[in-house]
Structures are given as structure tokens and as C-alpha cells.
Amino acid sequence: MVFILGAAAALALPPTNFWWLLALIVPAVLSLFQAQQAKPLFKQFLFGWLFGFGFFLAALHWIGYAFFVDASDIWMMPFALSGLSAFLALYWGLAFAVASKLAARGHPLWTCLPICLALAEWLRGNLFTGFPWAVFGQMVDGMGGVAQLASVCGMTGLTLLVWLWAAAPFGLWNERGVARIAAALVIISLPAAYGYGEWRLAQNPTQYNADVMLRLVQPNINQNEKWQAGNARAIYDRLLQLTAAPSTTGKPITHIIWPEASVPFLIDESAQGRAELAAVMQPGQTLLAGAVRRASPSPDAPYYTSILMMNDKAEVITHYDKWRLVPGGEFLPLEWALAPLGFRRLVNAPESFTPGDGAKTLAVPGAGNAGFSICYEAIFPGAVAAANPRPDWLVNVTNDGWFGTSTGPYQHLAMLRLRAIELGVPAARAANTGISAVIDPLGRMTFKSQLNAIGSYDLALPSPVADTVYAKTNGILFIILVLLLFLVGEFLRRY
């Protein structure tokens, strides 16, 4: 039963956004959990693990699509998907076990479980390279103004609040006296948060940078075809055609963004490729191209997945190297043990990619400072830009073509939206098959492309708003919220 409830909870994530289901599912889980408090601690752990396993299996099912790109990889799919879900569920199992101990001391279950789960999710996002995908804080994507709290407490703080809001009906039904009043106040805080967010949105209409006109290039290259040797010419021709197309706005294009690993060759080492690119670029234009590069032309030089910043002569000005690599995609964890069993990386490259130096904010000619991220990095708060200097906008390139028309691309975009709200800066995203988008600093989509469409999209870049509380405090409010909720639990335990 608890496994099914976990799977159903995944419907609260984008793109379905059935967040209201949590008000039914979480109290039901708490009721079932409370009924077995007398059982051994391992049973409490197993209960939480089953709930998490159901949730992650449903929430991350889109990962399975990647194994259909190469038919020889399909055998790995059930092992990878169930193994990852089972591993991530360990965090939830631990959270339920600790919450059971706190409840045994008298802490209300509806306050201590959200604390434990929020801390477990923080650990999940940071340990063993981290994987903060499908967190409860992401569910505010469908909650209107509530998402604006990301500018105050970030995604991790929202995870705590969403768990707390979902658990509060259980407290309202089961508690008495002061504890019931506390649960009622928590429930009332949800429409208050919505009201604050809607007020913030009304106070900050979207403003635009008059000096920047972006072109997002979405070539829509099928993943099955991208790395076939005979297709490089056609792929590059499509990129050049989309880059050279006349402006659809009547204004000159100043900055062009190509998606992750857009060209199936090392463009910075190809004199012909750079000459053809220079021939289609207009004077003063800057290209931000997702590309694979290597440190030097030496055959044994390390490879990076990068964003190359190129001028109108197709010369590389600078580059950004991805530093949060995808486990199983761009490198194989425990390769010494898994490779002999037949497991391999999904991304076709001469060797595992080398991680870059870390988050960076780089100056972009004519467009201020930009924070850069590639694909998977957008899911990590703090990984999309260096804190100093503050970015004026975020650049994200990705290739979600691995995941077809599944929920994956929608969830991925929703997390970039949270990054924009957290920092109070706009974001521009170029995706190979979609969803390409421009997001204003309050998370409003000023443009969103269709999946599996070919296009070059000419769009104005929104301007940033004032530095946010979250950016200034570096997420410290999450710790304050945890401590505050724990003290509330202590008070309710005594009274």
C-alpha cells in the first residue's frame, strides 16, 4: 500500500502538477506509519524505504527512455532504474527511522517527519555527487505564487515547507489543544504564501535588456542519429542554417545559443568548421555553443563537455566546462566493478569526460555577466553560477533528446525555473529537441518551445531584479526553518 502511495505522490511533480494530492497521500502515509510505531526500528526504515522506492520509481521512470537510444543498452534499463530508485529510497528510509525515534520521545509525527525528510533530501542532493531531482520543493511549479518563496528559502527550504503543508491536515485531525492550533496555522500559511507570491509577481513586471536579442537554436537531432559518422555534415548544415536565418523580430541578433554537444565533432579544432561558421555570423555577434572539447590535440588529452564562447570570426574567446557530470552517462561510477559486468556509459565519447573546475560566472560581450550550466547541472542550487560577481542572467544548454516526450524534459525545465527565482535573474535555455525557453527573474516563461520541433527562436532577454534573500544568505534560512520547526515540536511535546 505504501509503495502505491509513493508512486501516486510523483503525480505532484511537473508536468502533471497534481500537488493537491499530497494533502491526501501524506496524511494517509502518516496514519499507516503511526499504526506501526510499536514495531522494530528496521520496520520503520523499511516502511519509509518502500514509500520512497515507489515515489522514485514513478518520478524517475523517464530515465528508462535513454536506454532505447541504443538497442544494445536496453538490458541495463531495469537494473539502472530500479537500482537508482532503491538507492535514493534509502534516504527516505533513514528519515522515517529517525522520525520514529523522535515520535517515541513525544514529538508530533506531523512536524518531525518533514524535518527528517527535508534533511534527508539535503543529503541526497549533496552526498556521492548528489542527485536532487524529484524533490518535494519542485512541486511548487504548479502552485502559482508559492514558487516565489524560492527567492527566500530556496528549493531546499521549499521541500521542508511542502512536506509540512502536506502533513498538517494529519495534525489538524489527530492533535488536540495547542498542537491542533499549530497545525491550523501551518495550513493557513499556505494561502498566505500564495498571496505573497502573487503580490511579488504584480510588483515586478518583466523588464527587458534593450541591448540583447537572443537566438535559441533548437536543431532537433534524433539521438539515434547524432553520433553516426555519416551524419555530421547534415547536422552542421542545419545548425548553420538556423544560425543564419533572418531575424524574425526585425532587430539584429546579438547572441546565439546552441544546445549541449550540438556538433558531433571538435569544432574548436576544425579549421573548416570554424570558417563555415564565421561566414554565417554577423559582425558583433557572440555564439555560446554547447560542444565537446579536449584540453589539447593530443590523443590522450582529457575531454570536456563545454560551452564555447565564440566571436563573429568563430574564434574561441573563453569556455565553460561542465563540472557536475552525469553518473552512468558521462562517467561510470565504480567502473572497475561495473565495466567487467558489461555496464558502460551511455554517452559516446573516447573516454569518460573530465569534470571542470566548478561553477563560474563569465563576462559575455555585450550582455553582462552570465552563469553557465550544462544539462544536469541546472538541478543543483548553487551550481549554475559563481556567487561573485553576481550574474545578470543564466545560460543553460542541454540535450534532452535522450528522454523523448517523457516527463523528464518538463521536470528539467522546472528546475531551471527555480534557479532563476532563487537568484532573481533571467535564464535562457537552448535544448536540442526542446524544451528551449527564456525565463524571467521571477520564473515567468516569456517563451517556451515545443518538444521535437526544429527552430531558431529570436527573443528578448529579461533584466534581473534586486538580489534575493536566498542569494544573500546562501540558503542559511533552510537551517533556521529546520531549527524553528524542531523547537516547535519540542514545545508541542511538552504542552
Residues 312 and 396 in one domain: yes
Cβ neighbors of 210 (< 8 A, separation 6 or more) are none
Domain match, 97 and 20 both:
yes
Question: Going residue by residue through the chain (495 aa), what tens digit of pLDDT does each one get?
Answer: 999 999 999 999 999 999 999 999 999 999 999 988 878 888 999 999 999 999 999 999 888 766 666 655 676 677 778 889 999 999 999 999 999 999 988 889 999 999 999 999 999 999 988 899 999 999 999 999 999 999 999 999 999 999 999 999 999 988 888 889 999 999 999 999 999 999 999 999 999 999 999 999 999 998 777 777 788 899 999 999 999 999 999 999 999 999 999 998 999 999 999 999 999 999 999 999 999 999 888 888 899 999 999 999 999 999 999 998 877 555 555 454 444 444 444 555 545 688 889 999 999 999 999 999 999 899 999 889 988 899 999 999 999 877 888 898 999 999 999 999 999 999 999 999 989 999 999 999 999 999 999 999 999 999 999 999 999 998 888 999 999 888 888 887 776
My answer on whether 215 and 355 are in the same domain is: yes
Please state, in angstroms and rounded to a whole number, the distance separating the CA atoms of residues 238 and 115: 50
Query: Could you tell me if 193 and 215 lie in one domain?
Result: no
Q: In terms of domains, do 222 and 370 share one?
A: yes
- What pLDDT sits at residue 338? 46
Catalytic member of 121, 175, 260, 377: 260
Please give the angle made by the CA atoms of 453, 207 and 391, to the nearest 5 degrees.
80
Is residue 194 domain-shared with residue 267, that is, in the same domain?
no
Same domain? For 369 and 418 the reply is yes
- The predicted-structure confidence for 226-254, as pLDDT tens digits, reads as follows 777 788 899 999 999 999 999 999 999 99
Helix axis angle, 177-203 to 476-494, nearest 10°: 160
Q: How many CB atoms lie within 10 A of CB 7?
A: 19
Same domain, 243 and 191: no
Cα 458 from chain centre: 24
Catalytic site residue from 322, 360, 377, 422: 322
Q: Which residues of 370-408 are buried (b: 16+ CB within 10 A; e: fewer)?
A: bbbbbbbbbbbbbbbbbeeebbbbbbbbbbbbbbbebbb
Q: Is 375 a catalytic residue?
A: yes
- Of 239, 249, 251, the residue nearest 308 (C-alpha): 239
C-alpha cell of residue 350: 573516447
Residues 304 and 399 in one domain: yes
The verdict on whether 472 is a catalytic residue reads no
pLDDT at residue 331, rounded to an integer = 53
Q: Which of 112, 116, 153, 375 is catalytic?
A: 375
DSSP 315: -
On whether both 183 and 235 belong to a single domain, the answer is no
For residue 13, give its domain range.
2-203+473-494
Kindly state whether residues 108 and 10 are assigned to the same domain: yes
Q: Do 247 and 194 share a domain, yes or no?
A: no
Q: What is the 3-state secondary structure (H, E, C) of 224-273?
A: HHHCCHHHHHHHHHHHHHHHHCCCCCCCCCCEEEECCCCCCCCHHHCHHH
Count structural domains, the chain: 2
Whether pTM exceeds 0.95: no
What does the buried/exposed string (b/e) look like for 26-48 if buried means 16 or more CB atoms within 10 Å of the residue's CB?
Answer: bbebbeebeeeeeeeeeebbbbb
Distance CA 366, CA 241 (A): 24
- Domain CATH code at residue 367: 3.60.110.10
Residue with the three cell numbers 509513493: 6
Backbone angles phi, psi at 205, to 5 degrees: -65, 155
Bridge-based pairing of strands 361-363 and 369-374 is: antiparallel
